[in-house]
Structure 1
Amino acid sequence: MRKLSITDWFFVLLAVAVVAGGGIMVFAKSAPPMQHQNMGAVVPAAHSDGLSDTESGYRLEPVTTPGARGAAVPVAFRILDSTGKPVTRFLDNQTKQMHFFSVREDMAVFEHLHPVLEGDTWHTAVSLPDGGVYRLFAEFVPLDTADPRHPVVLGLPFSVPGDTTIAAVPAPADGVTATDGYTVQRVDRGELKPLSAHELRLSIRAPDGTPVSSLEPHLGANGHMTGFHTMLLSATHLHPVELAGIPLNNGELSFQAVFADRGEYRLFLEFVHGGKLRRAAFTVGVA
């Protein structure tokens, strides 16, 4: 019997690797959708991040994309399935079938909107006060999803020409002043790690310094928060822990979070108090 040469051993090992890889692939597909295998530990999976216009068999097809500044610049798009057919019905996700975000690369311009469906096309209008490089995101939950808490997020870049005033992304800090003098302070002290479950606890205080005892429902919840990686521009959706209508303990509101990558994230918190929608933005570091 002939001895195996170095070349023979290479192809033997390659064949073993292919077989093993196939087994791993089958195992990964059979794993629960909210789990991620990592060194034997089970942690939640990160959300679809919007860095691509295709994900999970869906594609974002632009119809009208912004190309100029303005207070109400039209945007229109379709969501297509794997056969190219427009999809016009999704599960309600915080009371809406479709969430839409527009963010500039320096995080200084951000909008959260809810497009209206006309025929097979979703329509909205964005406020673009300045030029620069932006990214738009469409977030929805398919009707046949195995996990309604993990939406599909599709994204596309666009740019607005002209002189642009770029702002530095604020560094991670404990406190931030929100709209109308409200302050939001992160009070949890846990270190944030990628692909690990975290609970962010935020203390919300009114302009007079007193803790906000309760919030009015916003999109069927106590609040809404979306984050964006400051370098990659990937999107992260965070889920509120306290149910709508439940009083806050010392003004604290909590969110469940899983961050996919290391780096800094700019988080945009929206909440309703005193009959008005308010927004606070702050930066966290994931290491």
Structure 2
Amino acid sequence: MRAPRLTDWLFIAVFVVVLVAAGLVLVQPSGPAHSAHQVMASADLVPAAHSDGLSDSESGYRFEQITTPATRGPAVPVEFRILDGDGKPVTRFLDNQTKQVHFFAIRDDMHVFHHVHPTLVGDTWRTALALTDGGAYRMFAEFVPVDTKDPRHPVVLGVPFSVPGDTTLVPVPPPAAHSVTATGFTVVRVDEPVHPAVMTPQTLRFALRTPDGTPVSRLEPHLGANGHMTGFHTMLLSATHLHPLEPQGALLVNGELTFQAVFADRGEYRLFLEFSHGGAVHTASFTVAVS
């Protein structure tokens, strides 16, 4: 048997190098996988979308209708359950602004809005709505699960319902800076830009004036806060619920309340600002166009 020549050793060395290179190609991430990782890293920079009430199920919970409004009246009953992943009713949530469950109802023309708080009877949540006109509506239940990892982001479940009969539909008002409550308070939106950008943090500022034009210096507690704002996309009927940055009971500079918002979709939103003054709750409404 002859001894390996120099050319043999060179051939073996080249063969080994080729094998090692091939092995490196096999274990390295492929191009598409690397791109997906980059996309995920970029997505972490985008604010997470909140539960928006466009579905009757979310995060392992489901809205079960028991008694749905089907007639007009000043106090139409509503009954529902919140079911877990096993189909069992859930009867305890974390207190969210002093309430376990916030309940909203909006007509699709944004003309009728209700924010109430159901009571628990057995395993069923009960409330009533003032529905003096017909039309297509959507109702929402908002709650914070006891085992949540982020209490700042409640679960919001929504279901549609309709009230039969003739309906007097009202066009959604165009975007405007001024709003007057039914009780005579004037609320002026003073932030910029006027048209917020989609998926971009936006500071919303509202200046509150009493019926005689005096800036509101201090508000009374309303559900554990200086106020509440509920917004609905006028086409999608998605919902969002915000609270002011000013601590409860703090003096308001120039009568202003400040909110931080991220609008998830382009289009118009209808915002309902609730605040308490003089022993009564006042509601101002605004239309905001998101570009």
TM more than 0.5: yes
Tell me how far 1:115 sits from its aligned partner. 0.2
Q: Which stretch of structure 1 is more off in the superposition, 225-234 or 45-54?
A: 45-54
Tell me how far 1:45 sits from its aligned partner. 2.1
| Rounded Cα–Cα distance in structure 2 between residues aligned with 1:69 and 1:250 | 42
Cα displacement string for residues 134-184 of structure 1 (whole angstroms, at most 9, x for unaligned residues) = 000000011111111111000000001110000000011111111211011
Identify the residue that residue 15 of structure 2 maps to in structure 1.
none
| Rounded Cα–Cα distance in structure 1 between residues aligned with 2:163 and 2:32 | 47
| Rounded Cα–Cα distance in structure 1 between residues aligned with 2:131 and 2:66 | 18
Tell me how far 1:198 sits from its aligned partner. 1.4
- The reply to whether residue 42 of structure 1 matches residue 45 of structure 2 is yes
Identify the residue that residue 227 of structure 2 maps to in structure 1.
223
Q: How many residues align?
A: 262
- The reply to whether residue 70 of structure 1 matches residue 97 of structure 2 is no
| Rounded Cα–Cα distance in structure 2 between residues aligned with 1:24 and 1:89 | 40
| Rounded Cα–Cα distance in structure 1 between residues aligned with 2:52 and 2:248 | 26
Identify the residue that residue 21 of structure 2 maps to in structure 1.
none
Amino acid at match of 2:184: G
Counterparts in 2 of 1:121 and 1:24: CA distance versus 1, 3 Å: farther
Preserved contact between residue 225 and residue 243 of structure 2 (Cα < 8 Å)? no
Question: Which 5+ residue runs of structure 2 have no aligned equivalent?
Answer: 1-29
Identify the residue that residue 196 of structure 1 maps to in structure 2.
200
Q: Which structure has more strand as a fraction of its residues?
A: 1
Counterparts in 2 of 1:253 and 1:24: CA distance versus 1, 3 Å: same
What are the within-5 Å matches in structure 2 for residues 24-43 of structure 1?
37-38=42-43, 42-43=45-46
Tell me how far 1:259 sits from its aligned partner. 1.1
Tell me how far 1:258 sits from its aligned partner. 1.4
Tell me how far 1:255 sits from its aligned partner. 1.0
Q: CA RMSD in A?
A: 2.0
Superposition TM-score, scaled by structure 1 size: 0.87
- The reply to whether residue 79 of structure 1 matches residue 82 of structure 2 is yes
Tell me how far 1:20 sits from its aligned partner. 6.5
Superposition TM-score, scaled by structure 2 size: 0.86
Match of 2:176 among 173, 176, 180: 173
What are the within-5 Å matches in structure 2 for residues 142-181 of structure 1?
142-181=145-184
| Rounded Cα–Cα distance in structure 2 between residues aligned with 1:189 and 1:263 | 17
Preserved contact between residue 137 and residue 156 of structure 1 (Cα < 8 Å)? yes
- The reply to whether residue 268 of structure 1 matches residue 267 of structure 2 is no
Tell me how far 1:24 sits from its aligned partner. 8.0
Percent of pairs with identical residues: 67
Preserved contact between residue 187 and residue 206 of structure 2 (Cα < 8 Å)? yes
Preserved contact between residue 239 and residue 255 of structure 1 (Cα < 8 Å)? yes
Larger CA Rg, structure 1 vs 2:
2
Identify the residue that residue 111 of structure 2 maps to in structure 1.
108
Question: Which 5+ residue runs of structure 1 have no aligned equivalent?
Answer: 1-15, 29-36
SS in structure 1 of the partner of residue 211 of structure 2: coil
Match of 1:207 among 204, 207, 211: 211
